[in-house]
Amino acid sequence: IIRLREEGSRQLEEQQRLVREQIRLEREQHSRGKQERNGAEGKITPKLKLRWKCRKEDETGGGYSKDVLLQILQKYGDVLNLLISSRKTGSAVVEFATVKAAEMAVKNEVGLLNNPLKISWLEGQPRGCPSTVLPDSTSQPRTSQASVVSERDYESLVMMRMRQAAERQQLIEQLQREDEEKSHT
């Protein structure tokens, strides 16, 4: 019984160690991929062109001020610069600190519902990513759902492995209890 208990504990610890190791490796690969994408661009920081509908006589700028744009874009990462064109209304350029932040903004940001943003790459675009302009919000949800689904898949995989390890431990404990009951009778 003691031997079975020790063996079960060893197996559980080994399974947990393997799951932790696999998670660590996947995180390292993910961060290595980010570094390679960021390093591939050299010193060029990612810049995006923002466009929205705005009349010249509109003092509100179509609902977009520097503060509003910063609030919208900073959720994706550090914004190094934001320039709103004084000559061309409804136009701005944003410079992100990382390529990943810019990618997420291009893929996911819609802007204000009553006046959507059109976002396109200006500089620092990763090679595998086509220059996308999202003129309508109908194509946007599919893109953001894909990234959310892959994150969910990863999380569910990790949770499934943890559940399996817990179930294995419960089964081992149950077998040990049964063995103890048999040995007492």
pLDDT tens column, 3-20: 888 888 899 998 899 988
Domain that holds residue 59: 40-136
Q: Look at residue 55 in the predicted model and tell me its pLDDT.
A: 81
- Asked if residue 38 lies in contact with residue 103, where contact means CB atoms within 8 angstroms, the answer is no
Q: Is residue 141 part of a domain?
A: no
Indicate whether 103 and 55 sit together in one domain: yes
- Give yes or no: residues 31 and 48 share one domain: no
Q: Which has the closest alpha carbon to 104: 156, 67, 146? A: 146
Do residues 164 and 120 share a domain?
no
* Residue 97 falls inside a structural domain: yes
Regarding whether 82 and 127 lie in a shared domain, the answer is yes
Helical H runs in the chain?
2-40, 66-73, 99-108, 140-184
How many CB atoms are closer than 10 A to CB 111?
22
Provide the 3-class DSSP secondary structure of residue 50: strand
Is residue 143 a part of any domain in this protein? no
Sign (positive or negative) of CA dihedral 131, 98, 88, 52: positive
Per residue in 62-105, pLDDT (tens digit) is 888 888 998 989 888 888 888 888 788 889 999 888 888 888 88
- Do 58 and 82 lie in a common domain? yes
Given a cut of 50, whether residue 125 has pLDDT beyond it is yes
Kindly state whether residue 142 falls inside one of the protein's structural domains. no
Binning pLDDT at 50, 70 and 90, where does residue 163 land?
Answer: confident
Q: State how many domains the chain has.
A: 2
CATH number at residue 131: 3.30.70.330
Does residue 46 register a pLDDT over 50? yes
pTM of the model: 0.47
